[in-house]
Amino acid sequence: MPASLLPHRPLGPFSVSAIALGCMGLSHGYGQRPDAAGAKALVHAALDAGVTLFDTAALYGFGANESLLGPLLRAHRARITLASKGGLAGVPDPEDGVLRRSMDGRPEAIRRDCEASLRRLGTEVIDLYYLHRWDRRVPIEESVGAMARLKQEGKIRALGLSEVAAATLRRAQREHPIAALQSEYSLWSRNAELGTLAACKELGIAYVAFSPLGRGFLAGALQDPGSLQAGDLRTRMPRFAPDAFARNRQHLLAPLQALAQRLGCTPAQLALAWLLHQGDQVIALTGTTQAAHLHESLGAAALALDAATLAELDALFAPERVAGERYALAAQREVDTEKFPFESA
């Protein structure tokens, strides 16, 4: 889609492209990563296509993703919105110095993470700064208060939260206006519809939907989860276990592919178009390492779906029809999002 035609949606004080680029996969999470030239080509393709929201985090590659993106985006800072996250980062182990994943929502940890992100990104201010996960040992008001002080100091421009429930979002909003909530939302992950989607609409908060293609499942390219490389986070997710994956391919993906063929689009475009039809507060945060896939995704912004098609997709992907939960139990305990009755506590 030409850059001039990519629609924009409000996000706090910003107007951003309705489809954004999540950059995690360039450094973290999904097995093989592109080399520096490939990452540069992808980021430049996104810029040329009119993408204006770029998302990273201190956690991704334990800072490597921010270090990669900083130089690539530096010359374009005036025309993009740069988002990063803290409160979940790599922290040196006191015994051996090895970086290990640590969740810490204390004000001093949030300040430490933010200042480290600023250095890696090579920027004086982060446009949108999220609390990556709510550390329940710390009241959400304290973590948000620390972020508000960073804003007062000019180190960030807007505040965001990730993977919190509507009640937590409202508590945070009373402490300081929240610009965006980033949580998983797609045809096969519908927890947003249990409260946070409506709360965002009511409060004027953007809903930045990560994994809008179901971590690649909805695009249809993955044939066998057994082919995933060691270290790919999907190898630990119940929906990608062999039996659940096979059922989901048969009962969900195959009908989605047939409907997309009927409509003259790809399954990925259909899934993204459905998401964008869920409200003007929704922004699709899609991730890829390939420019061809990026351009395919951006084409979804031009796809109009009628009420009958939306209803057909809603019924096909009714939450109870999805085999397997979105996270293993240990990871599920780290998030604060609402759960369906049939999901684990």
* CA distances (Å), origin 34, targets 168, 285, 341: 37, 19, 40
Q: What is the rounded average pLDDT of the residues 83-108?
A: 90
Count of domains forming the chain = 1
15-54 residue pLDDT tens: 999 999 999 999 988 877 889 999 999 999 999 999 999 9
Are 41 and 12 a contacting pair, CB within 8 Å? no
156 Ramachandran zone, left/alpha/beta (phi>0; psi -120 to 50): beta
Q: Residue 343: inside a domain, yes or no?
A: no
The verdict on residue 238 lying in a domain is: no
* Separation between Cα atoms, residue 324 and residue 190, nearest integer Å: 13
Query: pLDDT band at 4, cuts 50/70/90?
Result: very low
Catalytically annotated residue among 30, 60, 185, 327 = 60
Q: Which amino acid is residue 254, in one-letter code? A: A
∠ Cα 39 229 56 (to 5°): 35
Catalytic residue flag (residue 60) = yes
Q: What's the CA gap between 272 and 275, in Å, rounded?
A: 5
Min mean pLDDT across 1-10, 132-141, 199-208 is at 1-10
Q: What are phi and psi of 55, to 5 degrees?
A: -120, 130
The boundaries of the domain holding residue 183 are 8-216+274-303
How does pLDDT run across 312-326, given as a tens digit for each residue?
999 999 999 999 999
pLDDT in tens, 265-277: 999 999 999 999 9
Position 2 pLDDT exceeds 70 = no
Q: What pLDDT shows up at residue 345? A: 62
**Cα 146 from Cα 133, distance rounded (Å):** 14
Backbone torsions φ then ψ of 61, nearest 5 degrees: 65, 20
259 versus 95: which is more confidently predicted? 259
Residue 229 inside a domain? The answer is: no
What's the distance, Cα to Cα, between the start and end of the chain in Å? 42
Give the model's confidence band at 123: pLDDT under 50 very low, under 70 low, under 90 confident, else very high: very high
Q: What pairing do the DSSP bridges indicate for beta strands 282-287 and 206-210? A: parallel
Per-residue model confidence (pLDDT) at position 195: 98
pLDDT tens digits along 161-219: 999 999 999 999 999 999 999 999 999 999 999 999 999 999 999 999 999 999 999 99
The answer to whether residue 91 sits within a structural domain is: yes
Residues in the chain: 345
Q: Could you tell me the CATH number of the domain that includes residue 286? A: 3.20.20.100
Tokens of 280: 């003007």
Q: Which strand (E) or helix (H) includes residue 125?
A: none
Average pLDDT value over all residues in the chain: 95
Q: What span, in angstroms and rounded, lies between the C-alpha atoms of 44 and 106?
A: 36
Write down the pLDDT at residue 325. 94
The values of phi and psi at residue 323, to 5°, are: -85, 125
Sort 230 into a burial class: Cβ within 10 Å, 0-12 / 13-18 / 19+: exposed
Give the E-state strand segments of the chain in sequence order.
8-11, 14-17, 19-22, 53-55, 81-86, 88-92, 99-103, 126-131, 156-162, 180-184, 206-210, 282-287
Supply the pTM of this predicted model.
0.96
Asked if residue 242 is part of any domain, the answer here is no
Q: What is the pLDDT of residues 221-250, one digit of tens each?
A: 899 999 998 889 999 999 999 999 999 999
Residues paired with residue 90 on neighbouring β-strands, in sequence order: 101
Both tokens of residue 235? 């190898």
pLDDT score recorded for residue 29: 84
